[in-house]
Amino acid sequence: MKTFLTETFLLETETARELYFNEAAPQPIYDYHCHLPPKLIADNHRFRNLYEIWLGGDHYKWRAMRSNGVAERYCTGDASDREKFDAFVATVPYTLRNPLYHWSHLELERYFGIDLLIDGTSADTIWEQANAKLAEPGYAVHGLLEKCNVAVVVTTDDPADPLPDHARIAASGLKTRVYPAFRPDGAFVVDQPAAFKAWCAKLSATAQADTGTFDGFVSALKQRHDFFHAQGCRLSDHGLESCFASECSDAEAGAIFAKALGGTAATPSETQQFGTWLLLLLGRLDAAKGWTKQLHLGALRNNNSRLRARVGADAGVDSVGDFPQAAALSWYLNRLASTDELPKIVLYNLNPADNYVFATMIGNFQDGTIPGKIQFGSGWWFLDQAEGMTWQLNALSNLGLLRRFVGMLTDSRSFLSYTRHEYFRRLLCNLIGNDVAKGLLPNDGKLLGAMVREICFENARGYFGLDLDPAFAAKKG
């Protein structure tokens, strides 16, 4: 008899099971933040084997393999696809109680129908069965999105990108609507003159504008913001250690810009000033167009310089940071709110110690114009596992309105990550079901069912305002 990943996985009560199967599971997926490559979607890419779709680019798995004593050659190096697959499969039995154990088994079962414990003895069978499935017509990218009932995908895009792949996706007839998000990381690196100059040159070519002057730089950014809007973009995104919060006049920002473009690195205080000026500008642009700004705060990135130099960015050498968050975040939000230019914002923290900081901060800037205008985002990165998701749900419940929450996202580069939504939905339903069993919530299926549907899909659909294919737009609770 099956005892692992059964139908009742993570669902401890009858109420939880009813909510999950009747209300949560049927809901489409609204993936409003991810790192899926638009080119693969535009190409309707077919994966050559299980390694490419399951392990390629997955830094979560690389971290586990390194911790298990696996040489880098089998993580990011020149080993064959099968050798890398075997190295990960041999690692999986050592991931017991790590979320990778759940995720890896869920991915194989939900996508490929493989119900085996992952270890060396099952490796051949898993490899052969999954590769046979990947050769079928429905296992190219478009088929995978359809299989997972994905209504919306929002990718993460550089403003200097001309977005040709998004244009091809829009013309493809794909029912999943795919939109860009505006993430201008390159505009902030005035402390890295070579990188800043290179990014400005790329922006200049794309915008066909002169970014050699401060006014031209600002004009080009605004032009790209307009272009993204015309392509359906309604979200921006920033990954920061903490929010910028230093006074900076236009003249000071211009001087810092000129200094960096001339090859002299901005000082730490100048970098803070320029970042503040730019973040305020972009916040006002977002507000004027009705966009949602996402702030991902608290990652300490690229800790291992040797591995970073060898492998590159996103190598799996980032960690939770312990940066002060409250004062700077309050300053930034207040500065925009004081002039009625505060956009919709989703705040994500990476340090769980900041859960109550963020959950209380959002309440300071709700203004009665939009339900849940300022959101405390779902458990992110190292926190998108059972404990971290539950912490976030509890903090939001205690200090805000859980029923207005816009729910889960993948934040992933993998087309197999939509099981994260199942994981989240099961945890949400279990949390509610346990509260009913304790007498903390009424055993009212209509009331609780509405909340589950809203958190899983309907709130995001209303909040972000992105167009859906009629097949998804017609879905009601």
- Concatenate the DSSP letters of all residues of 100-132 into one string: HHHHHHHHHHHHH---S--SGGGHHHHHHHHHH
Which band of pLDDT confidence, cut at 50, 70 and 90, is reported for residue 313? confident
Only one residue has tokens 């939880």, namely: 16
Domain 141-473, CATH class in plain words: alpha beta
Structure confidence by residue, pLDDT tens digits, 269-310: 999 999 999 999 999 999 999 999 999 999 999 999 999 888
Closest C-alpha to 275, from 235, 248, 302, 237: 248
Pairwise CA distance, residues 8 & 21, whole Å: 10
pLDDT in the model for residue 473: 82
Mean pLDDT of 420-444: 98
Q: How far is CA 11 from the centre of its chain?
A: 25
pLDDT in the model for residue 314: 80
Q: Using an 8 Å Cβ cutoff, are 372 and 407 in contact?
A: no
Which band of pLDDT confidence, cut at 50, 70 and 90, is reported for residue 268? very high
Q: Where in the chain is the domain with CATH 3.20.20.140?
A: 141-473
- Checking DSSP bridges between strand 299-300 and strand 292-297, what pairing results, if any? unpaired
pLDDT in the model for residue 175: 97
Structure confidence by residue, pLDDT tens digits, 129-180: 999 999 999 999 999 999 999 999 999 999 999 999 999 999 999 999 999 9
CA-CA-CA-CA torsion sign (373, 376, 377, 378):
negative
* Residue 401 neighbours by CB under 8 Å, 6+ apart: 371, 372
Pairwise CA distance, residues 63 & 70, whole Å: 10
Pairwise CA distance, residues 214 & 294, whole Å: 25
Structure confidence by residue, pLDDT tens digits, 433-448: 999 999 999 999 999 9
What is this structure's pTM?
0.97
pLDDT in the model for residue 477: 46
User: What CATH number should be reported for the domain whose range is 47-139?
Assistant: 1.10.2020.10
The residues facing 292 across adjacent strands are 235, 344
Structure confidence by residue, pLDDT tens digits, 44-102: 999 999 999 999 989 999 999 999 999 999 999 999 999 999 999 999 999 999 999 99
Pairwise CA distance, residues 318 & 301, whole Å: 4
Q: Using an 8 Å Cβ cutoff, are 298 and 351 in contact?
A: yes
Provide the strand spans (E) within 181-327: 235-240, 292-297, 299-300, 319-320
Pairwise CA distance, residues 11 & 360, whole Å: 29
Structure confidence by residue, pLDDT tens digits, 111-135: 999 999 999 999 999 999 999 999 9
Q: Using an 8 Å Cβ cutoff, are 100 and 60 in contact?
A: yes
Percent of the chain with pLDDT over 90: 96
Q: What's the whole-number average pLDDT of the chain?
A: 97
Number of Cβ atoms within 10 Å of the Cβ of 191: 18
Of 12-16, 316-320, 387-391, 460-464, least confident by mean pLDDT is 316-320
Structure confidence by residue, pLDDT tens digits, 168-214: 999 999 999 999 999 999 999 999 999 999 999 999 999 999 999 99
pLDDT at 367 over 50: yes
Mean pLDDT of 454-460: 98
Q: Where in the chain is the domain with CATH 1.10.2020.10?
A: 47-139
Pairwise CA distance, residues 270 & 282, whole Å: 18
Q: Using an 8 Å Cβ cutoff, are 62 and 316 in contact?
A: yes
- Concatenate the DSSP letters of all residues of 35-101 into one string: ---HHHHHTT---SSHHHHHTTT-HHHHHHHHHTT--GGGTTSS--HHHHHHHHHHHGGGGTTSHHH
Task: Calculate the alpha carbon distances from 262 to 74, 95, 99, 160, 213 in Å.
Answer: 42, 49, 47, 20, 11
- Checking DSSP bridges between strand 319-320 and strand 299-300, what pairing results, if any? antiparallel
pLDDT in the model for residue 475: 63
pLDDT at 476 over 80: no
